Amino acid sequence: MIQMSAYGSSVWFKRMVQAYGSSVRLDHTSLFPYFCPMNYLFGTKHRFNSYSGYFKKTFGERVQKITVDAGFTCPNRDGTLARDGCTYCNNDAFNPSYCNPQKSVAQQVAEGIEFHKVRYRRASRYLVYFQPYSNTYAPLEKLKNLYEQALRQEGVVGLVIGTRPDCVDEEKLDWLQQLSEKYYIIVEYGVESIYNTTLERINRQHTFEQSAEAIENTARRGLHVGAHFIFGLPGESHEMMMDSVKQVSQLPLTTIKFHQLQIVTGTAMAIDYQKHQEDYPLFSFEEYIDFIIQYTERLNPDFIIERFAGEVPPRYLAGPGWGLIRNDQINIAIEKEMEKRDTWQGKYYKP
């Protein structure tokens, strides 16, 4: 008998049924060995559902993200919910140099495309990434104007919109749904943790339930949804973090991003860290590789993993770091270790 997996309706699954008949159990766990080592279940050479593979499948080629700063703020900074922001937040540490809210979105996109053309000649299509602060935190008319400026640029095929779960509403999501008929639209929510005690401690000013609701409301409209999580937040044990994978895997997500906690200069967390270092379960590089592999083994294999870890420039670090290591080097280390352990995303996933 075929046991239906999370892949029951996929083209891949149907091909496997044609190839192997209906007498075998067809899911990631059982079929992986048949495709090892070159033809992994995710349709790429990777042992996880990779972002690059996803874009190749979706667009048939590499797509470059162009980050813009549209001058948003967030309710956790402007006094609506709080003034101090999340305790770890310092947006300056993450903004590319060509992002400047003094320039129009149209100009930033044009300059971003030029910048990337010189560095990555292969890309001819672009997604505009509204990244800093909460990029749906404005009246709909203003959002329309900003997003449309981006979409009018040649080569732009869609938007990546980073925001908080409490900064979307039915009206905005309905309009994004209309936009998604012509463009690729993904809304990325900062969820950070499933534990409300943690969210309170880092002053997120929203709960996990609000995140889950926003994600559901977005996915229900057929929009792509991304989520961001941080590992190493104060008060969370490694067991709590590992355990969270069950709830995270139930969310209707398209993509997921992980970051190891890094203590950034100029933040409230940097001060708290000096006083309560024992509360911060920060990962060494080796510990994190081990942790994230075990987490990935338990993660829903349908999720596209956009990032396993983050890179804050060392000059912004107010706590221990991993030195000058690039994101692609982290990915290589993770994949090498996965290969050594003969494991893959979703190996131990239980729907």
Contacts with ligand SF4, residue ranges (CB under 6 A): 74, 76-77, 85-86, 89, 91, 133-134, 164, 190
We find the least distance from the C-beta atom of residue 132 to ligand SF4, in angstroms, to be 7
Task: Give the Cα separation of 49 and 27 in Å (integer).
Answer: 14
Question: Given the complex with ligand SF4, which of 133 and 283 has the nearer CB atom?
Answer: 133
Q: For residues 114 and 147, is the Cβ–Cβ distance under 8 A?
A: no
We find the least distance from the C-beta atom of residue 319 to ligand SF4, in angstroms, to be 17
Question: Given the complex with ligand SF4, which of 133 and 288 has the nearer CB atom?
Answer: 133
We find the least distance from the C-beta atom of residue 291 to ligand SF4, in angstroms, to be 23
Question: Given the complex with ligand SF4, which of 134 and 149 has the nearer CB atom?
Answer: 134
Question: Given the complex with ligand SF4, which of 86 and 293 has the nearer CB atom?
Answer: 86
We find the least distance from the C-beta atom of residue 167 to ligand SF4, in angstroms, to be 9
Question: Given the complex with ligand SF4, which of 134 and 345 has the nearer CB atom?
Answer: 134
Question: Given the complex with ligand SF4, which of 36 and 317 has the nearer CB atom?
Answer: 317
Question: Given the complex with ligand SF4, which of 47 and 228 has the nearer CB atom?
Answer: 228
We find the least distance from the C-beta atom of residue 282 to ligand SF4, in angstroms, to be 19
We find the least distance from the C-beta atom of residue 89 to ligand SF4, in angstroms, to be 3
We find the least distance from the C-beta atom of residue 261 to ligand SF4, in angstroms, to be 13
